[in-house]
Amino acid sequence: MKITVEQYEDKFTIETKDDGLIVSEFMDHLYSIGVATGYHPDSVANAMYQKGVSMSEYLNRENELYDE
C-alpha cells in the first residue's frame, strides 16, 4: 500500500510491503502522515477520534432505523 500527501512543495509518502493491512495498521499510517505533514499529534488524534465517534453515531442511527 502507498499513501502519499502533497502539501505545497512537500511530498510525504508511506509505503508498506504488504497491501493487506488491517484497519488499525492503516489508521496508524494515516496518523503518522498527518503528523509528518505538520499537524500537531494531539490534533490528529482528536480529529480521528471525533470522526470515529460521529461515524459510530451515524451507524447506530442507521441500525435503529432498520430495527423499527
Mean per-residue pLDDT of the chain: 87
SS3 1: coil
Query: Which residues form the domain of 12?
Result: 2-67
Distance between CA atoms of residues 44 and 22, nearest Å:
20
More confident residue, 57 or 1: 1
Describe the chain by its helix, strand, coil percentages, rounded to 5: 60, 20, 20
Count of domains for the chain: 1
Q: Is 54 exposed, middle or buried (0-12, 13-18, 19+ CB in 10 A)?
A: exposed
Residue range 37-59, pLDDT digits in tens: 999 999 999 999 999 888 887 66
Residue range 14-37, pLDDT digits in tens: 999 988 889 999 999 999 999 999
Asked whether the beta carbons of 52 and 23 are under 8 A apart, the reply is: no
